[in-house]
Structures are given as structure tokens and as C-alpha cells.
Amino acid sequence: MATLPGAERTGFARDRITVAFYSTFAVWGWLLYSFNPSVPLLADDLHISDAQAGLHGSSMAVGAILSAFVTPRLVRGRGRRTAAVASVALIAVGVVALVLAPTLAWSLGAVFVVALGGNAALTATQPGLAIRHSRASSAALTEANGVGSSIGLIGPLAVGACVAIGWGWRPAVLVTAVLAVASALMLARIPVGGAMTPAHAVIEPAAADAPVRRASLPAWCFLATLVAAVAMEFATTYWATSLVIEQTDAGAGIAAATTAGLVFGMSVIRFVVGPLSLRIAPALLLTGAFVLAIGGWAILWTATTPAIAMVGLVVSGLGYGAQYPLSVALLLATAPTRPDATQGRATLAAGLAVGVAPFALGALADRFGTHQAFILVPVVAVVGAAAAAVGGRRVRRAVVARADAVVLGG
């Protein structure tokens, strides 16, 4: 299979199947960052309260949780290509329903369908990337997420442009359906086999992965880092605007604009840390990412001007951006014979984090104020850093033990 340019720089080949898998991240990135800022506009259109509008986040979490149970079975029974194509097609259907929604019940149902399809697409394609790139999976998964967040940077601009010319938010979000159709066509053209796992296939791990396969504690550690990463990202994206308003007296528009700094930081670091993870232990990079996020939080939490707040969000983004993809790569490496089942558990955990973390921070904000509530973020980061450090140490010990056994065995 021919490779695309860039292998020399990144240390892995971007072939057709890699690019096809990347396309699902582009679809999901556009959806998230075009729809999220459109929720207040949707609330105005449907004449619903902010609390009712917030139910769309809950609906998204339910879709993610269901996909965690459905997708591994679909991949096993029908193959990875069928699962991926069906998932992105479901995104297209859900988005069309969403932009046509005349009532809250309709829009909540549409968001559920979109979230089911989107999370199923990622649940199907992330293990495929891990299988395709093996030891370079951390680089591929990080870059894939970078593609998604980079595309996501354009989404809010598209929403603003459409609103400015009088079209409203819907055309910008509808672009997701176009991207989903293009992604489905790309995926459908990839032959079945290899990383495009056939139905009922048994995945054989590389021998070098055996020490990690037997270690259960690293799996729990990296699942914990994944939950921490998702919880921090969604809690921050939901409530950073309120924090900036409270601390800097900025207008709502300016405060909302500062959150673009978070997405920018996340996009930049993903294209840096991917190749870096081929030279430095991914668990060490993951630990550092949580520490860097704490530094960004400190800048944001003490900011008294929107400019300083944006700096804090950019630095936070540099930490956040590495956390999720590295956590996924390390978690999948602990179970090379069961990547789809492992990814399903990761999706379930992430869905629960999406459903709980923003609500928890919001509840604390109602009681103590947004500024005090944001102390939750570094607490979660400390837990994530500790889990990454412990998991990385156990993996290193397992590798050393395996090497010693080989030497002693002659």
C-alpha cells in the first residue's frame, strides 16, 4: 500500500488507511466545535431555557455510553470497515435531523444519534490505527486527534460567518454531514484485511507486547488518566467562559472567544507530541502533560484580564491536547489482543466523564462560585499525573523483567 509524504518527519507512514481513519476525527472535530457554540443559538430558536439546552450534553454522553457497548460487537461481527462506514453515515443522518429540529425532544434525539455515530466511529477507528502502526501508535493517535481539533478551530468561525450573513448556525453545523459522507466514501474504498479488521478476526499481538499484556495495573492507571483527561477538557470548555467573565469582567463575547485558546493549544501540541512519543516514553510525556495543565490552570485561575486568561487557556490546551490520545495509545497497548473491547471500555469511561464532570463543576459553582469551583481541575490533574507515573513505572518494570527472562533463558 502506497504511503503519503511525511513518514520521514513523523516516524510512521500516512498511508491510505491511515488517512481514511483520520477522516473520522475531522468529522467529529467539526461537529463538536461547530455545534457546541451553537447551543445558545439553538436555545433561542426553540425558545428553551439554558438548563434545557444543557440537556444536549447529557444526550451526547448517553450516546457515547451506548456506543461503548455496541461498537466492539459490531466490529467483531461485521468487520471494522462496515462498523466505521455505518458510524459516520449515522453522524450524517443525525446532523440532518438536528438542523431540521423543530422541538427540544427532536433536537435531543438527534444529538443522541450524532453522539452514537461519532463515538462509534472513533471507537472503531482508534484501535485500527493502533493495529496499523503498532509501536508508532502513540504518534498516529495523537496526530489523528490533532487533525480533529485543527478542523475544529474552523467550526466556530464558520458558525460566526453564517450568523453574520443572516443564515443562522445551521448551515455551519450541516457541513458535518458533508464531511461524514466524504469520510464514509474514503473508508468504504479501503480493502478488508490487516488494520481494516475482517469480521470474526482474531488479532495476534507482537511478541514485544507480551509483558504489557499481562499487567493489569497499567490498564487501570491509563483508564484513570483517560477519565481525568476527558473530565478536565469538558469541564473547562463548559465553564471557562463563566470563569473569565467572573474574574475579568469581560463581556460574554470576549470571554467566549478566549476559549479558542484552549483548542489552539490542543491542536498545536498534538502535532508536536506525536513524533516526540517515538523518542520519549509516552507515559513520561503523559505525566508531563498533566503537570503542564496545572500550570495553565494557575495562569487562568489568577488572571484578571482576558488576555492573561487566554494565555492560561493556551497553556492548558498544550497539556490537555496530549492527555487523551496518549492515554488511549497506552491503554490499547496493555491489551493488544483485544483492542476493540479495550477501546469500548475507554469510550464508556469517557462518556461517563462527559456526563459527570461538567455537572459536578457546575454544581460546585452554584454553591461556591465558578472561581472556587475551578479548584476541581488541578485536583483531577494531580490524580491523572499520579496514575500516568505509576502506570509508566509498571510498564517499564514489565519490559525489564521480560528482557531479563530472555537473557537468562539463553
Q: Are 94 and 148 members of one domain?
A: yes
For position 409, what pLDDT does the model report?
55
Long-range contact set of residues 70-73: C-beta below 8 Å, sequence gap at least 24? 70/116, 70/120, 71/119, 71/120, 71/123, 71/124, 71/340, 71/343, 71/344, 71/347, 72/123, 72/340, 72/341, 72/343, 72/344
Cα 203 from Cα 219, distance rounded (Å) = 18
Q: What is the dihedral of CA 292, 295, 296, 299, to 10 degrees?
A: -170
Q: What is the dihedral of CA 360, 361, 365, 368, to 10 degrees?
A: 80
For position 252, what pLDDT does the model report?
67
pLDDT 10s digits, 69-100 = 999 999 999 999 999 999 999 999 999 999 99
Q: Which residues of the chain have pLDDT under 50?
A: 1-10, 206-215, 404, 406-407
Q: Are 156 and 264 members of one domain?
A: no
Q: Are 261 and 182 members of one domain?
A: no
- Secondary structure element (H or E) that encloses residue 4, with its range: strand 3-4
Q: Are 382 and 293 members of one domain?
A: yes
Cα 410 from Cα 406, distance rounded (Å) = 6
For position 232, what pLDDT does the model report?
94
Among 115, 134, 135, smallest CA distance to 64 is for: 115
Cα 124 from Cα 110, distance rounded (Å) = 21
Domain stops at, among 145, 177, 201: 201
Q: Reduced to 3 states, what is the DSSP secondary structure of residue 283?
A: helix
Q: Are 225 and 197 members of one domain?
A: no
Cα 181 from Cα 117, distance rounded (Å) = 13
Long-range contact set of residues 375-378: C-beta below 8 Å, sequence gap at least 24? 375/301, 376/235, 377/232, 377/235, 377/236, 377/293, 377/297, 378/294, 378/297, 378/298
pLDDT 10s digits, 279-336 = 899 999 999 999 999 999 999 999 999 999 999 999 999 999 999 999 988 998 888 7
Among 63, 268, 89, smallest CA distance to 176 is for: 89
Q: Are 153 and 173 members of one domain?
A: yes
CATH number at residue 191: 1.20.1250.20
State how many domains the chain has: 2
- Secondary structure element (H or E) that encloses residue 58, with its range: helix 50-78
For position 323, what pLDDT does the model report?
96
pLDDT 10s digits, 280-289 = 999 999 999 9
- Secondary structure element (H or E) that encloses residue 356, with its range: helix 339-368
For position 333, what pLDDT does the model report?
87
Q: Are 362 and 324 members of one domain?
A: yes
For position 400, what pLDDT does the model report?
62
Among 206, 256, 273, 224, smallest CA distance to 382 is for: 224
Domain stops at, among 152, 173, 201: 201
Q: Are 71 and 212 members of one domain?
A: no
Domain stops at, among 150, 167, 201: 201
Q: Are 15 and 131 members of one domain?
A: yes
- Range of 245's domain? 206-410
Q: Are 228 and 309 members of one domain?
A: yes
Q: Are 212 and 143 members of one domain?
A: no
Q: Are 61 and 29 members of one domain?
A: yes
